[in-house]
Chains A and B, each alone.
Chain A
Amino acid sequence: MGETVLSRGRASRRPTQWVTHTALILGAFVMVAPFIWQLLTSMKTIPESRAVPPTLLPGTFNLSSYERFFDMVPFWGLLAVSLGALLLRVAGQLLICALAAYGFARFEFRGRNLLFGAFLIMLMAPSQLFIIAQFDLVKGLGMLDTVPAIALPGIFSAFGTFLMRQAFLAIPREFEEAARLDGAGSWRIFWQIMLPMTGPTLAALTVLTSLYSWNDLLWPLIVTSSKETMTLPVGLAALQGQYGTDYPLLMAGSFIVSLPLIIIFVALQRQFFAGIASSGLKG
């Protein structure tokens, strides 16, 4: 992304650079300010958080609201549920989408395009269309209030199937033909040759699916009701329902819960951006 214009006149660009950066920094401030306010408030006392006029910095930087948060919320339990659902959903989705995508990309059979089209349409429709019956199904299977139930519908993804199919189509056929001459079967070719070559796509898909899984609210809210199977967003929303006016507590909690994904994002920016740029479709 560094290949900008070197040939254009330097002097003429100076002023536009200046204006550009001023505007971007102002905008970035609006994007970041709520986070700074959240962090500062999390270290204030309750009266400080309601002060008029507001104080910018807490009187003393105290972490008591973090202690309150960990006392009131079974954080590690919620984290385990959120992580468990995320791992199930990501692993399941990568495997099932990759398999289906390979089938669509490399095999000829009657009605293939029709079936692929049906996949995409079904999985792109708004989730509310399926949720009631999905809930009944999960309930019928006795899976309400379990971690697999949280992950289940998201394992099947139009976006993932589409993206993986693109990745397989981009691999030259010669690789498979050579392997086939060496006597490798379809499964081995898929598993040992084709799948490893889609690394960047798998990475982007992993990152995006993790994001959706971590942030999802409606479905976990519906299929879980006990404290033991709440995800972090559900637990956080419940905390607000109970302690809606303890702002230092709420800011501390929302900060802690957002932090893991923010750290992962900063570390894996390229994969996030690749995933988003390839499509903003819901996963």
Chain B
Amino acid sequence: MTSTLSGRGANTRPARPARRRGAAVGLLFIAPAFIGLLALYLIPLVRTVVLSLMETGPFGGGKFTGLSNYEALLGDEAFWHALRNSAIYTAIVLIGIPLAILVSALINNARRGRAIYRVLYFLPVVTLPVAVGMVWRYIYNGDFGLLNQFLGLFGIDGPSWVADPQVAIFAVAIVGIWMTLGTNIIILGAGMQGIPEELMEASSLDGAGPVRQFFGITLPLLSPSIFFVSVLSVISSLQMFDLIYVMIGRGSPALDGSKTIVFLFYQKAFIENDQGFGAAIAIVLLMIIMAATAIQFRLQRRWVFYG
């Protein structure tokens, strides 16, 4: 699903053995990456697993305590709140996908100005999340923020969006939609370019209007790209950290109501220096991501159309 880049397509004919000199030289090419993988990923992974089974103090050291970190985690209200917040954030960001489909279809339909639309919708993607969070935090300000002043025009008295624990995670997730729309539009747009023009022409000769073409042809043929986008969105949304850090921040009354799993992880492992507990959070996060991805792969059989 990722071979679209060069447009040449993957020319994967079965590799002929490079005449036996292959093995050693090939391994030499791979060696630097392998060393990095070992030192920075494989060994750390093992260490994280081990740490998660240990009681660690803030100054290092620690003793093996089995699953006690996991027990503490599951009994910790903050964990369940974080889980709930991450789930809400992810669910709302997923609502951005139908929106992205609509916008890509519109851009695809436009005869002029496609390039400029792509650039404008993509701007938030290339802006620092920290900067994005700061701008939206200002717009969301309860007293003089632009949003509430705008809502005031219609007689609506908006809440203090990011200071109110009840609404903060929703407000942040809206920014999440805004920030990821551009990425989704580009991936879906590439998928739409791949739909054969003849299909469209044939159907319009048969009298199908643009709406019927959209639901009858575009959507089914686009479903592999939609699936891809939703898998990626779930994985990255479950790891949301930056926006919470900037828009809510430590010391905010809304923090407990909007802390995500990765924020909790950061707080436990690096602010409170409880590495064992932090490691347990990371492992649980991995399991959640794997489960969410597996569920999506199961469900795809029902709706993804591989023509």
| Chain A positions near chain B (C-beta within 8 angstroms) | 1, 3-5, 7-8, 13, 16-17, 20-21, 23-24, 27-28, 30-32, 34-35, 37-38, 41, 49-54, 95-97, 99-100, 102-110, 112, 115, 118-119, 122-123, 125-137, 152-153, 155-156, 161-163, 166-167, 169-173, 186, 190, 200-201, 204, 211, 214-215, 217-218, 221-222, 232-233, 236-237, 240-241, 244, 247, 250-251, 253-255, 257-258, 261-262, 264-266, 269, 272-282
Say whether A277 contacts B118, CB under 8 Å: no
Q: Is B298 an interface residue (CB 8 A)?
A: no
How far, in Å, is A82 (CB) from chain B's closest CB? Answer: 10
Q: Is the CB of B130 within 8 A of A233?
A: yes
CA distance A145 to B253 in the complex (A): 31
Residues of chain A within 8 A of B119, CB atoms compared: 265-266, 269
Q: How many B residues, CB 8 Å from partner?
A: 113
Chain-A contact segment, one of B32-40, B69-77, B89-97: B32-40
Contact residues in B for A127 (Cβ distance below 8 Å)? 239
For the complex, what is the distance from the CA of A202 to the CA of B227, rounded to whole Å? 27
Q: B111 near A17 (CB under 8 angstroms)?
A: yes
- B80 vs chain A, min Cβ distance (A): 18
Picked from A96, A108, A254, the residue with its CB within 8 Å of the CB of B17 is A108
Structural contact, B2 and A279, CB atoms closer than 8 A? yes
CB contact under 8 A between A265 and B122, given known A109-B23, A137-B39: yes
Is B26 in contact with A170, judged by CB distance below 8 angstroms? no
- A123→B41 contact, CB < 8 A: yes
B155-186 interface with A by 8 A CB criterion: 178, 181-183, 186
CB of B254 closer than 8 Å to a CB of A: no
Whether A278 and B33, one on each chain, are in contact in the complex, defined by CB atoms closer than 8 angstroms, is no
Question: A127 → chain B, closest Cβ, in Å?
Answer: 8
* Complex interface bits, B53-97 against A, C-beta within 8 A gives 1, otherwise 0: 000000000000000000000000000000000000000000000
CA distance A272 to B266 in the complex (A): 30
Q: Of A95, A109, A126, A186, which is in contact with the most chain B CB atoms at under 10 Å from its CB?
A: A126
Tell me whether A96 and B33 are in contact (CB under 8 A). yes
CB–CB B30/A103 < 8 A: yes
A125 contact from B111, B114, B200, B286, Cβ within 8 A:
B286
Question: Which residues of B227-286 have CB atoms within 8 Å of chain A's CB atoms?
Answer: 229, 232, 235-236, 238-239, 241-242, 245-246, 249, 262, 265-266, 269-270, 275, 278-279, 281-283, 285-286
Find out whether the CB atom of B241 lies under 8 angstroms from the CB atom of A217.
yes
Q: Are B103 and A24 in contact (CB under 8 A)?
A: yes
**Interface presence of B124 (CB below 8 A):** yes
Tell me how far the C-beta of B192 lies from the nearest C-beta in chain A, rounded to whole angstroms.
Answer: 10
Which partner residue on chain B sits nearest A157 by CB separation? Answer: B33
Complex: how many Å from CA A144 to CA B183? Answer: 33
Contact of A31 with B32 in the complex, beta carbons under 8 Å = no
